[in-house]
Amino acid sequence: MRFLATGAAAGLAAALALSPAPASADHGGAPTVRELLERCGKGTDVCEFHPSGSPEFFQNTSEPVGSPVYNCTDHEQVSMVEWSKTTGESNSVNLSMTATFGVVFKQSFAISYGHEWSSSHTQTQRTQVTAQPGEVARVYYGPRMQRVHGTYELHFPDRQWGHYVWYAPFTAEGPADGQGSTVTQSTRPMTDEERAVYC
């Protein structure tokens, strides 16, 4: 049935992989996902990533950007706040995605979804803020993000940890270009301490 649906398939492969997995006598201990992915492309016959479901888009928490504006005058003040914020990628194994498994992920993502994975996005803006007398104004930025789940499949020419084929669950997050992010501003009364320091 052809219509878009968000990832209902997450984890299937992992479940399957678990179910028929007898711990054989020659099994040499279980590696971590991290250990497996570090081996991707280094002595593997196959290292592939199979995504489950469409990318999930979500709004990251808004964080303050640029400098706060303190209105120490006795009239309303309109100011421009210049700011720049770079949002990067992260993943479930806390390894740099410049490693081979990350390159594999990005190639697979492009083939799987028809557009490039974005590792980094920098948003630069001048935002107008309005502060009443005695207030401090701040700008907040919340980038739009995407999350992809899937399973790595690794084949080794010789047994590794007792097996030729391994499956490893994996999740990556990164900025979603062109999906729209949120920029907000808020004001609050200055504290006595701030007034003493900035006014």
Partner 1 sequence: MPPVRRPLCSATVTAVSVMAVAALTSPARAETAQHCVADIDTGAQACFATFEEAIAEAEEETGRTLEQQRRSLDGGPASLLAARADVIIGTYFEHENYGGATFTLYGDGLCRGGDGTDFWFTFPPEWRNTISAAQPWATCALWLHSGPDGTGDRDGPYRENTPYVGDHMNDRTVSTTLG
Q: Which residues bind partner 1 (CB under 8 A)?
A: 1-24, 30-34, 36, 46, 48, 50-54, 92-93, 108, 111-114, 151, 153, 155, 161-169
Closest to partner 1 by CB, 5 vs 196, is 5
Nearer to partner 1, 142 or 162 (CB): 162
Which residue matches tokens 């935002």?
Answer: 127
Closest to partner 1 by CB, 7 vs 64, is 7
User: Closest separation between CB of residue 75 and partner 1, Å?
Assistant: 54
Q: Phi and psi for 134 in degrees, rounded to 5?
A: 80, 10
Contact 62, 140 (CB under 8 A): yes
Closest separation in Å from C-beta 90 to partner 1 = 13
Q: Are 153 and 167 in contact (CB under 8 A)?
A: yes
Pair 56, 6: CB distance under 8 Å: yes
CB of 144 to partner 1, least distance (A): 18
- Whose CA is closest to 151, among 18, 1, 6? 18
| Residues sharing a CB contact under 8 Å with residue 39, sequence separation 6 or more, in sequence order | 154, 156, 160
CB of 62 to partner 1, least distance (A): 28
Question: CB under 8 Å to 162, separation ≥6 — which residues?
Answer: 24, 26, 27, 28, 29
Residue 41 tokens, joined: 């492309």
- Interatomic CA distance for residues 175 and 23, integer angstroms: 40
Nearest residue (CB) to partner 1, 30 versus 199: 30
CB of 129 to partner 1, least distance (A): 40
Q: Which lies closer to partner 1 via its Cβ, residue 177 or residue 194? A: 177
Contact 84, 123 (CB under 8 A): yes
Q: How far is the CB of 101 from partner 1 (least distance, A)?
A: 13
User: Given the complex with partner 1, which of 51 and 174 has the nearer CB atom?
Assistant: 51
